[in-house]
Amino acid sequence: MSFINYSSREINCKIVYYGPGLGGKTTNLQFIFEKTNPESRGKMISLATETERTLFFDFLPLALGTIRGFKTRFHLYTVPGQVFYDASRKLILKGVDGVVFVADSQLERMDANMESVENLKENLLEQGYDLAKLPYVTQYNKRDLDNIATIEELQSSLNPLSVPWFEAVAPKGNGVFETLKAVAKRILLDLKKSGG
């Protein structure tokens, strides 16, 4: 649910990065944080465990610029990927405007990817959202590793909706901004359709 404030002339949207544990959701946000002009972003907040596993969420506010005189702000969130944090994942999906699914390309993580996509669908449905109708993109991360699935395999198991997808190596930034841009674009076009 985006928030349009006519008084401060701002449009605020919420993007959630979803996916299996250790897939690179936090790394996506870290790269965006590092590469964004400090004036265009706020602090990155990570509620993580001592071993740097996301406990509740990461949060990164971005101000991308103005559209038709309105400042566009995107609030980026990651969910904790580990299976047993499902209650937290549901909370973070509340009010979401767009979703990025970060898949781990490694063959041994295919089951975890599939489980996570299913979990995303279920949790969205619980909040009254239909994934097929939501601005949604997929990122195939860790493309630089050896033991990875082919794009065809990933596409057929993880992207039945044929949403835009991107190959990525998040620590190096490959595909990171392309993914963000694609989901942001879909959100703004969605807002246009719904008339704000």
According to the binding rule CB under 8 A, does residue 2 interact with other proteins? Answer: yes
- Give the footprint of other proteins on residues 31-60 (CB under 8 A): 42-43, 45, 47, 56-57, 59
Q: How many helices (H) and strands (E) does the chain have?
A: 5, 8
Helix (H, G, I), strand (E, B) or coil at 154: helix
Helix (H, G, I), strand (E, B) or coil at 176: helix
* CB-CB contact of 154 with 105 (8 Å): yes
The minimum distance between CB 193 and other proteins, in angstroms, equals 9
According to the binding rule CB under 8 A, does residue 125 interact with other proteins? Answer: yes
List alpha helices for 12-85, DSSP H: 25-35
Pick 1 or 146: Cβ nearer other proteins: 1
According to the binding rule CB under 8 A, does residue 127 interact with other proteins? Answer: yes
Helix (H, G, I), strand (E, B) or coil at 57: strand
Length of the chain: 196
According to the binding rule CB under 8 A, does residue 132 interact with other proteins? Answer: no
- Residues 148-167: x where in contact with other proteins by CB under 8 A, - otherwise, as a string: --------------------
Closest CA to 74 of 59, 57, 62: 62
Pick 57 or 101: Cβ nearer other proteins: 57
Q: Kindly state the tokens that stand for 185.
A: 């674009």
Q: What is d(CA 65, CA 70) in angstroms, rounded to the nearest whole number?
A: 8
Pick 109 or 135: Cβ nearer other proteins: 135
Distance of CA 180 to the CA centre of its chain: 8
Pick 158 or 166: Cβ nearer other proteins: 166
**Site residues (CB under 8 A) for other proteins?**
1-9, 11-12, 14, 42-43, 45, 47, 56-57, 59, 61, 64-65, 67-70, 72, 75, 87-88, 90-92, 94-95, 125-129, 177, 181, 184-185, 188-189, 191-192, 194-196
